[in-house]
Structure 1
């Protein structure tokens, strides 16, 4: 089966910033993404967990996008404008997709 090269971008950011990030992605013509809850983790600030938190403050989400390679820079510029002043991580991975017309 034929596959096509793509880029998988994962953006982990404070849950309170989710709407701002997804709005920026939509304005950058990134029409497909998935938002996943993040249960916990560890980083420069140490270990943390979502357990026991009340409300959206303090939680994290992961926004996953798959785009054609020529759309990567536009996506990263939009994401970085939101992530840069906040807690967050952006990673880019090469991937392959089966239906290139969807991206």
Structure 2
């Protein structure tokens, strides 16, 4: 099967920022992404878990999107102002996709 090179972007950010990051990605022209709850982790501030929290507002969410490389800079210009002001991390990896017309 024919594959096409693309970029996979993962953004982990505080759950209360979900709506604002969704708006930023849409403004950047990202037409598809997935949002997942983050159950816990360990980082600069130490270990944390979603378990035992009274509300999910203190939790984190992970955005995952795959796009053509030429669309990456626009995504980062829209998303980074939010990520820089909050707890979060952005990773970008090379990937290959089938059905490239969807990205």
- TM-score, with length taken from structure 2: 0.97
Match of 2:65 in 1: 65
Report how far residue 70 of structure 1 moved: 0.5
Report how far residue 74 of structure 1 moved: 0.6
Q: Encode CA deviations 1:62-91: one digit per residue, 9 max, x unaligned.
A: 000100010010111111011111000000
Gaps of 5+ in 1: none
| 1:99 partnered with 2:90 | no
Match of 1:53 in 2: 53
Gaps of 5+ in 2: none
Q: What does residue range 1-103 of structure 1 map to in structure 2 within 5 Å? A: 1-103=1-103
- TM-score, with length taken from structure 1: 0.97
Q: Encode CA deviations 1:29-86: one digit per residue, 9 max, x unaligned.
A: 1110000000000000000000011223210000001000100101111110111110
Consecutive aligned runs of 4 or more in structure 1 exceeding 4 Å deviation: none
How many residue pairs match? The answer is: 103
